Structure 1
């Protein structure tokens, strides 16, 4: 007799399965709750975070709020007010529509909802613990909604265990907040993390919102892009070719107010800058596409960041054409002027003209002794006249040696600097070939680690402090490593609003925005949390920057010090990344080569 084995899963289990796609990390919760607030017509949204979203995520708004029954229904699977039929999916004007976010969030956390509908005197408070409703009561509450998500993944230990460091998770939350803030510049937005205000954005235009989030220097490098057509309305900004960089790029596409990732349209932007920037550089861009909702499909992935376009090719061409037009109008590309109105008239060459060879006229009556008196004439110095009568070399000795021996130089060993890159030294019977830049990097790297282990102030105070600006996520990371940088020679002061003053630096380092951006990016990419590994990453980044920015040639008197410091380092044969610094070639090996 056969036994049935297929059964319908309980809603709590189904919601946890759906949460694996919808709620991937704390940033996913922030994104879903902020999008719900936007759909509710909010003009002000506040986000409060504790421990990078592990212990608390609170999103409050002044939107339309919910009634008692709607508040309870919102946590059921596929319950939504955004669509009513399948046809509505092809004319979406809201951020959400699937009805999966709230039931997925509540299945893996403890949720408290406070809401009050406009025109009502009493609001509703609901408390959930992993999909189960624990309390339901009436409260006094202003119009709008407030979602508090506590102890995310408390009932899924494996998911909570594999969350990244607080710094990494907070950076992801900030990225989602920035995307939504850029797409909705007409909404006031506040972001507070661990009682520290990171963003307080007021309603403004797109350019002002970009400057408020990423810094004032973007105002100088952005060019406006605008296009209107029956297929596409395009607005936004792209950076000038001079503003293109290699890393830490700000690149955003928005379609009908929704952020999206699209490699195809990204190539259209890069194509517009072809032959204007280096191959490893890319522009910043903030492009807002407005298309007919019936020509796109948003329902591809639960995160709704992948969108299919019906008119992808025409849109690609329009993006390219509009950016090229913007670059041309702002003289960002070289142009050819065909206007001949004020051109110089150059007569054509006529072959009939006879070519006459030039003649030399000599003044045979010129006498130099009649111009200058003998008192102005002095005999040449007779000092060292014996050198004129030195004997010529005898025997087989060549008249000129390949390497001249200078006994007056401070460095006695034979050496040769080749291509300003390699140092050739004679070590007993061996030939030592040393990579100069890599040797300097190894020395700098060890010196920085030594400074940190000694924990002594060793910076050089700047006469004029350098002012640098960082985004909110970079500011948090910079604050966390401020002590480490201090022991390496940096004294940094926070002036508020993402602006920092660099008051002192290690010897030989000139602080710059590019250097600190690279330092913070290296730490973020490596996802370092252990103190020792973090210090090594800082030392590595600084040593690479010092060697890269040092354009002075190695002087002869610096060779002994370089050699001494290298062989007293922790590993004179390899750089911190494992690249070879030097090689020895024996006399026998040289003989075999000939």
Structure 2
């Protein structure tokens, strides 16, 4: 009988370890940028080719390395951060395990140049498949440059799992954003295939947020700052009107390290209770600073999940700090002199904040929850359902809108003529009643229109393109770098669906044409909302890129609840709905109509 257990060769062990640390180009970007931050850099440049598949290079002006350190940094578990087990519980640096460069060297061809300030010459090292191929002196600026080429060149199976360049670029931008956000005092640049996507000058946190997330947040940020003996919280949250349907603009940092925490996100959501719709997500960039002994960062390979010594205390402080900031914003609004003059004339700013209004706000549960003692852990129970009040309001006449204001619905399908003679009625500008046999159907107009558009777009995507209407005055659209990457990825499919969009310089696009039923002047808004909807659907991995796009367009272009429809438009909507292959369900699985039969109604009214 022979032995069955044996040691793996180093090259295989290194590649297995690399799988935990380097899963895609974005993983390497994160590790290299964090190393550059730990080196004390004030400027960090990220250079890519083919979204990191061909080249990832990080150049910094940090402390640099000696010849021995430069050679040692590629060994497994080689680190300058830990000398004893006790050091593991006092970590304040970004990296500490000493696995990043060893893992990168196991799956890429690496070139390193490094020099310390006091050295006459630097050191140049080439590593391939964990083996040092060359080492020699070199003239190089103070700092370090690491270039990794041909990621997974020696593991073709893993290279095949990489997504398109546009998809990989989105992951890289996410990691770049997280590191750049947490160190606003450092200059960062990102260049891909010779085109600079980001140039972030060193500055304040607010400036960095606006650089990364868009100028629309310029006047819509609320400062959060609370300091206690146990922990400090600082950063910004968005005013309630900035809440979106996606979680994208949400960042937590603990001791400057980006983390994901559904628990702390719940704390922030509770602070916004009754301020935003239940299906919306507030923007926040929050930094928690506390003693490293109170947090364990060594519980996940990417360090994005951490463990607090006392989660309840942290939850309470986060919730209270955000509540306090929002309450101050609500009770004592301040004029921002950078606001546009036209905004200053709005009634919400011009109206005086009377004692009556102040008393009403001060007596709210939100204000009391923070100002009264022993309320940090208090979470209000959801209110019990109340009986319907003001029932007569349902029967008040609804204001008519002009024919031009109503949404344009698609031509009727000749297969569905049975609704031409029936009497229809619109209720609450959101539902349409349709007589049927021994009862009636209640149709949800937005869900129904989403189903109609979804099936039309699916047909167009697999066949003849939707005709595009050329714009007499093309619109220029300027996006954040992250959204520009998404739009570039979507452009070929958008063209098939009737949108003609062309790149026009750095993060700028020109909308040359749109489908005929898109109202002129709304093109920019539609693309903005489309990208937001696409990010929302991107959270569900089971959808293909085209499916996400079509669902986003259907939701964006559908007639919304609260829109008054003429009788002709109601009839058109019902006719088109029941011409669909699956008329009873919207694309996201919600019913498009409910059916009420006579016997059901009679049972409902029996005592």
Bucket of the pairwise TM-score, normalised by the shorter protein: 0.7 to 0.9
Equivalent residues, number: 518
1:572 is displaced (CA, Å) by 6.0
Equivalent in 568, 571, 576 of residue 557 of structure 1: 568
Structure-1 separation of matches of 2:312 and 2:110: 45
1:413 and 2:421 matched: yes
- 1:170 counterpart SS class: helix
Give 1:477's aligned residue. 486
- 1:106 counterpart SS class: helix
1:434 and 1:582 in contact (8 A); partners too: yes
Q: Which runs of 5+ in 2 are unaligned?
A: 334-352, 360-418, 602-607
Structure-2 separation of matches of 1:447 and 1:155: 45
2:449 and 2:559 in contact (8 A); partners too: no
Give 2:449's aligned residue. 440
Give 1:78's aligned residue. 77
Structure-2 separation of matches of 1:478 and 1:74: 39
- 2:425 counterpart SS class: strand
Equivalent in 453, 471, 486 of residue 461 of structure 1: 471
Residues 1:256 and 1:412: Cα distance change in structure 2 (over 3 Å):
closer
1:215 is displaced (CA, Å) by 0.3
Equivalent in 547, 550, 554 of residue 539 of structure 1: 550
1:523 and 1:534 in contact (8 A); partners too: no
1:424 and 2:424 matched: no
Residues 1:306 and 1:431: Cα distance change in structure 2 (over 3 Å):
closer
1:215 and 1:469 in contact (8 A); partners too: no
- 2:558 counterpart SS class: helix
Structure-1 separation of matches of 2:332 and 2:357: 18
Structure-2 separation of matches of 1:212 and 1:339: 36
Residue by residue over 1:238-263, the C-alpha shift from the partner in whole angstroms, topping out at 9 and shown as x without a partner, is: 11222222314311111222112223
Structure-2 separation of matches of 1:451 and 1:5: 59
Structure-2 separation of matches of 1:336 and 1:22: 58
Residue by residue over 1:441-468, the C-alpha shift from the partner in whole angstroms, topping out at 9 and shown as x without a partner, is: 3443455456664447522637694x65
1:471 is displaced (CA, Å) by 3.0
Q: Of the two, which has the highest radius of gyration?
A: 1
Give 2:312's aligned residue. 313
1:272 is displaced (CA, Å) by 1.7
Give 1:205's aligned residue. 204
Structure-1 separation of matches of 2:272 and 2:594: 43
1:298 is displaced (CA, Å) by 1.8
Deviates more, 1:40-49 or 1:317-326: 317-326
Give 2:534's aligned residue. 520
1:460 and 1:489 in contact (8 A); partners too: no
Deviates more, 1:494-503 or 1:322-331: 494-503
Name the Cα RMSD after superposition: 3.8
1:496 is displaced (CA, Å) by 4.9
Structure-2 separation of matches of 1:550 and 1:497: 37
Residue by residue over 1:492-526, the C-alpha shift from the partner in whole angstroms, topping out at 9 and shown as x without a partner, is: 45555545555654324534265223343256446
1:108 and 2:107 matched: yes
Give 1:347's aligned residue. none
1:240 and 1:332 in contact (8 A); partners too: no
1:233 is displaced (CA, Å) by 2.1
Structure-2 separation of matches of 1:574 and 1:112: 56
- 1:331 counterpart SS class: helix
2:331 and 2:358 in contact (8 A); partners too: no
What pairs up with 1:172-321 in 2 under 5 angstroms? 172-321=171-320
Structure-2 separation of matches of 1:240 and 1:314: 25
Give 1:124's aligned residue. 123
What pairs up with 1:492-507 in 2 under 5 angstroms? 492=501, 494=503, 496=505, 498-500=507-509, 502=511, 504-506=513-515, 507=517
1:576 is displaced (CA, Å) by 5.2
Deviates more, 1:331-340 or 1:417-426: 331-340
Give 2:42's aligned residue. 43
2:251 and 2:284 in contact (8 A); partners too: yes
1:487 is displaced (CA, Å) by 4.9
Structure-1 separation of matches of 2:591 and 2:222: 45
Structure-1 separation of matches of 2:568 and 2:176: 55
Deviates more, 1:329-338 or 1:41-50: 329-338
2:424 and 2:571 in contact (8 A); partners too: no
1:236 is displaced (CA, Å) by 0.4
2:424 and 2:567 in contact (8 A); partners too: no
- 2:44 counterpart SS class: strand
1:69 is displaced (CA, Å) by 1.5
Structure-1 separation of matches of 2:503 and 2:181: 25
Q: Which runs of 5+ in 1 are unaligned?
A: 342-410
- 1:328 counterpart SS class: helix
1:297 is displaced (CA, Å) by 2.1
1:6 and 2:14 matched: no
Residues 1:130 and 1:292: Cα distance change in structure 2 (over 3 Å):
same
Deviates more, 1:215-224 or 1:321-330: 321-330
So what's the TM-score if we normalise by structure 1? 0.76
So what's the TM-score if we normalise by structure 2? 0.75
Structure-2 separation of matches of 1:193 and 1:261: 27
Deviates more, 1:571-580 or 1:274-283: 571-580
2:534 and 2:552 in contact (8 A); partners too: no
Residue by residue over 1:384-431, the C-alpha shift from the partner in whole angstroms, topping out at 9 and shown as x without a partner, is: xxxxxxxxxxxxxxxxxxxxxxxxxxx9723333646345367xx899
